[in-house]
Amino acid sequence: MARFDTLRVTPAGALTLAGDVAPGAKVELLLDGTVIDTVTANDQGAFAAVTSAEPSATPRSLTLRVTGADGVAKMSEESLTVAPSPRAVAEAATAEGAAPAAVAAEVAAAQVLADKPLVTDASGTPRVLAGLSETLVIDTLSLAADGGITISGRGAPKGALLRAYVDTAEVGLVQAGAEGGFRMQLPAAKSGAHSLRVDALDAAGKVLARAEQGFEGIAPPPPAATGAAPARSRIVTISSGNTLWAIARETYGDPYLYVQIFEANRDQIRDPDRIYPGQVFALPGEATPD
């Protein structure tokens, strides 16, 4: 039976979905009846899709069409409500002349649904989508010039092991720090859209918490000419809870250097106190050695 596991939708419309179906099945994602992506489940039946959908000011329905080894396509019994984009809701309400208080109320309602997506089964019984942790957070995801990935985060349960996956492939394992923080160096991913997942595990391997984020892999640069200095450019994909202060502290070891990030990304940042999940910023200068 097809089952939704996790969902994340950024303000820009990047959509990351994971779930479980029959091993090796073809999975089509349908948004309001229109196919927006097709993926194949792995040998354990897990699938992950990273795609995009135009931000909407109204809720939409996401369903799955699953084709197994017998070639028979079946619709999922569950449907997932994709929350309206808070930004699109604000723009639509403002355009209609709504009072600021009314706009704020509509945005807050949209954010509640975005934070706790609802899945409805064939009987109409809803459940809050499980899988995304209330506390485990991926704070930073940065890409080196060669495509290598560095992630850091917080909120892991005490003593937990943290296992990282890119799409459905395991790529890293580390133990959480005493205060629940973690940092991992992961191998480069191919150019294109990917899904990063971090699971916090107890000693028996049970998943205690999970965080997930979409990102765009980058192609490694061509080999540098003899004697040329290697490229040092890095980028970071913003996730919920990020601040320029925290990113600067993580990247440079000095939070006051957030000004460098602000200046390098002025085309995207109007106010350094207001950055949004899904934005991708360049990180200028030298990073603190690991």
- Same domain, yes or no, for 250 and 163? yes
Residue written as token pair 């600067």: 248
What CATH number corresponds to the domain at position 105? 2.60.40.3110
Q: Each residue of 157-188: b (16+ CB within 10 Å) or e? A: beebbbbbbbbbeebbebebeeebebebebeb
Mean pLDDT calculated for residue range 218-223:
62
Q: Helix, strand or coil for residue 101?
A: helix
Last residue of a domain, one of 128, 148, 179: 128
Q: What is the pLDDT of residue 189?
A: 85
Higher pLDDT, 83 or 287: 83
- Same domain, yes or no, for 157 and 122? no
Name the DSSP class of 242: -
Domain assignment present for residue 41? The answer is: yes
Name the amino acid, one letter, at 110.
A
Q: What is the pLDDT of residue 146?
A: 77
Domain assignment present for residue 153? The answer is: yes
- Same domain, yes or no, for 38 and 100? yes
Provide the percentage of residues in the chain whose pLDDT is more than 90.
20
What CATH number corresponds to the domain at position 159? 2.60.40.10
Least confident interval from 95-109, 254-268, 272-286: 272-286
- Same domain, yes or no, for 169 and 84? no
Domain assignment present for residue 111? The answer is: yes
**pLDDT higher than 50, residue 19:** yes
Domain containing 74 equals 3-128
Predicted TM-score of the model (pTM): 0.50
Last residue of a domain, one of 128, 154, 169: 128
How many domains does the chain fold into? Answer: 2
Predicted confidence (pLDDT) per residue in 154-180, tens digit? 888 888 899 999 888 899 999 988 888
**pLDDT higher than 80, residue 290:** no
Domain assignment present for residue 267? The answer is: yes
Sheet strands side by side (includes 169-175): 169-175, 161-166, 192-201, 207-217
Predicted confidence (pLDDT) per residue in 20-63, tens digit? 889 899 999 999 999 999 989 887 787 878 788 888 999 999 99
Q: What is the pLDDT of residue 32?
A: 94
Predicted confidence (pLDDT) per residue in 228-266, tens digit? 544 445 778 777 667 888 888 888 888 888 888 888 888
Last residue of a domain, one of 83, 105, 128: 128
Domain assignment present for residue 151? The answer is: yes
- Same domain, yes or no, for 19 and 113? yes
Q: What is the pLDDT of residue 223?
A: 59
Q: How many CB atoms lie within 10 A of CB 224?
A: 11
- Same domain, yes or no, for 158 and 94? no
